[in-house]
Amino acid sequence: MEHFGFPLETILIFFAVVAVSVYLDVFAHKKSTGISLRDAAGWSIFWVSLAILFYGYLWVRFNKIWADLYLAGYALEKSLSVDNLMVFMAVFASFSIKGILQHRILYYGIIGALVFRAVFVVIGTELFHASPWVGFVFAVFVIWSAVKMLQRPSDGGDIEDYSNHWSVRLTGRLIPVYTKLYLDHFFVRHHEIFKGDTTDHTNGEAGDADKSVADVTRAGVLYATPAFLCLMAIETSDIAFAFDSVPAVIAMTQEPLLVYAAMIFAILGLRSLYFVLVALTKYLAHLEKAVIALLFFIGAKMAIQAWNHAIFDTGIHISPGWSLAIVLGMLALGVIASFVFPEKGVERGA
């Protein structure tokens, strides 16, 4: 059978469509203060429709065989990556990131997703050798995230100072970090946070300033903010799930360009679908509890899969179909429970 290869026309159309669509999405929400359920659902439908239109293009321009291979890869990647929705929610809850800043972080994360998925497609099935050990590490992270969400106050209060946050403790000694959010910036310059202070803090000297030296982990010219650390956590979750999904999609569709297109359309649609989930949690009191339960399930599933590959086969295998059914079923239970057992003041900030 001949290979699909890398038709220049298809590459140009794919990247042009993705670039324009992402720009339109970001531009549409540039001045928003939040994303409504209707808006999130509309963009989610838009991305699914775009993926289907690309399927139609492949069918008409080439043939149904290539189109079906792409669609199979898209469906598999979509089902495998739904778990990532829950992890997104856990990461944002950990950082107390809300509203439009979530959108900014997720859509800047697209750049990382485009790059790392391309690298992983090139590496291909070699990921099978590393994925078990990545699975163990990320399983621990996912379960820890679920525990932290359980321990979070019911009002989900904001974090004003991230000095004791796990991300700052982990990276603060490696790079200069400003321990508070600074508007929606990922980085902030030294002179911006020490306005009105003529002391040279880069030399470690103290002085009277509008912003205290205690608000940074170490002196520097440029400081990362908690928003950037959150972006890195989101990217890490994307990469960790790629170790699981990329080899699976390649095993089904062994054409690099079709694999890459399927994964990117699935990932972009997933980010829009995330905001549907977040918007629903504002009105459905028990949906977040379902998400926490699913985090425990996802962590256990990743640990079992890693054990099967790295140590010995336990005989327990959760197929993508069953995993998707469990995720959707648990979310449905959360929705039903919210109607049957409503709580007062269910509407909360996103």
Give SS3 for 261. helix
Residue 134 one-letter amino acid:
V
The pLDDT, as a whole number, for residue 212 is: 54
- Best CA proximity match to 299, nearest among 138, 129, 60: 138
List the pLDDT tens digit at each of the 350 positions of the chain. 578 888 999 999 999 998 898 888 777 766 666 778 888 889 899 999 999 999 999 999 999 999 999 999 898 888 888 888 888 988 998 888 888 888 889 888 888 888 888 888 887 766 666 667 777 888 888 898 888 888 776 655 677 788 888 888 888 888 899 999 888 899 999 888 876 544 444 434 444 444 456 688 888 889 999 999 999 999 988 888 887 778 778 777 778 899 899 999 998 888 888 888 888 887 888 888 898 999 899 889 888 988 988 888 888 888 878 888 898 899 899 989 988 888 765 444 44
DSSP string for residues in 217-255: SS--SEEE-HHHHHHHHHHHHHHHHHHHHHHHHHHH---
CB 35 within 8 A of CB 100: yes
Q: Helix or strand or coil: residue 189?
A: strand
Q: How many CA atoms lie within 13 A of 85 on its CB side?
A: 27
- What is the Cα–Cα distance from 185 to 270, expressed in whole angstroms? 24
- Residue 163, pLDDT score: 83
Query: pTM to 2 decimals?
Result: 0.81
187: enclosing H helix or E strand: strand 187-189
Give residue 208's identity as a one-letter amino acid code.
D
pLDDT at res. 116: 86
Give the pLDDT confidence score for residue 1 in this predicted structure.
54
**183 backbone φψ class: left, alpha, beta (φ>0; ψ -120 to 50):** left
Q: What local confidence, expressed as pLDDT, does residue 285 receive?
A: 82
